[in-house]
Structure 1
């Protein structure tokens, strides 16, 4: 019995009592959280019966947005003209949120980080219909850093938004990639596509185009998102869907290799310029061929 920890009966009883109290507190917190959101849902639906989800500014403990099941906004703070949700109802909701937020444990209660990123968090309201929501996670390599690209597709009214990688060129990036997808033959199903490139670039941002497009299409169901996990994408997209070469493709491939990626996809015109050992390199002429390659990886 050498090495066995001996605990006296009093300490053991106190330990059990502490554990039991902790479990009771967790249960009470969950009941409080779910009850509060049910109450908030009731207040909101008196004015907006189609409300399905809300987004909260958790730092300010204030309601930020209310959306329907298709993801379309019904209300956005500080106010929405012509919205039937009045100031009094919004104040009551904010008071309820201010009471529940300090207890924490929001993720355990089903809250998620919103597209606006922290401190904004989103929670689905009780009774809301299940939403067809799919996500994908891809990676873009540049000579400077790896960009973490995340996409989410939600069935409903069509919308396409891109956040990053160059903060001043987001609309230009979105329009270029949307045109490239359409001209490559990819008509995205009805729904909202939101893509976020985590990592800011002041130069070389267009090298992330291919990663953004492939990740968006994976979220929209054009390939299995799991095939993107070990692939780094390096390429600018033309409006016609062509994959264009980028400056310092070798530097970008070296970044991918140093970050542990086993495969890189580059423009066909860049293939002969790559001189990095230890990583598989594939060249593609256009976005359609890039997606065909992803489907080939999926079939393996």
Structure 2
């Protein structure tokens, strides 16, 4: 059946998109570390989204891509943009002030669990027992790596833990809301509005902080550093703009619970990037954890081409009904 073949081809593109997304996000930790050696977290976020919005606007200015955004589209995307990038990055940036990046990694490993629960409740997504256990397995793989590195969550410092947990919940909420919104809005338009809102939020916060401290003249000083310039270009163009496009596209084709578990692949890419570029240690537990994560990701996406391929997800069913009705 041609429709089934087309659907299978679309899913392959969607999975390719989310794998590339994971690779980009995984390396973003490396460039994020480099950027923070020059600028504050808030300034880095502001400049990151300035570059991202500039890159997103160029194709429209030259007429390479047509963009039609109505006021109702902005209102529709606003709740999504509040969750990601605004709340996600804000909670993450301030949370890392009170906790370590390793602790944050453990907490963020739970995102697929939150996503799976939220998707089941709000989107009525159905997951098999294998997919549920595989999601937990991938989470266990990430936690195993961090625990073997001697990391644990310091419950005495609840402030940082709570902020990182809120960041994880915001990312899970974004996955569910984006999955729903992409059924009635073009991915390009949705991503552009998200980027523009991120630009406004973080620049207003950063400029406000500089004005309060009387250091506004230093706002663009980080761009004088080649290291920061390279880092912010990667973070702004690839890690913010392109990764959002890829993620939104994948969420328009695949269930949120399946897309979310791929975030754990970013952890593997981050480890490999640290080993290759920063000469960080690659131990046996990294390999074991990597195998567990990959097994979990594959298991969480089991059945995609099997008995459930004829069953349309609720969102696709709604689209079909809208076209016919």
Q: Which protein has the bigger helix share?
A: 2
Q: Looking at CA atoms only, which structure, 1 or 2, has the larger radius of gyration?
A: 1
Q: State the TM-score, normalizing by the size of structure 2.
A: 0.23
Structure with greater proportional strand content: 1
TM-score normalised per structure 1: 0.25
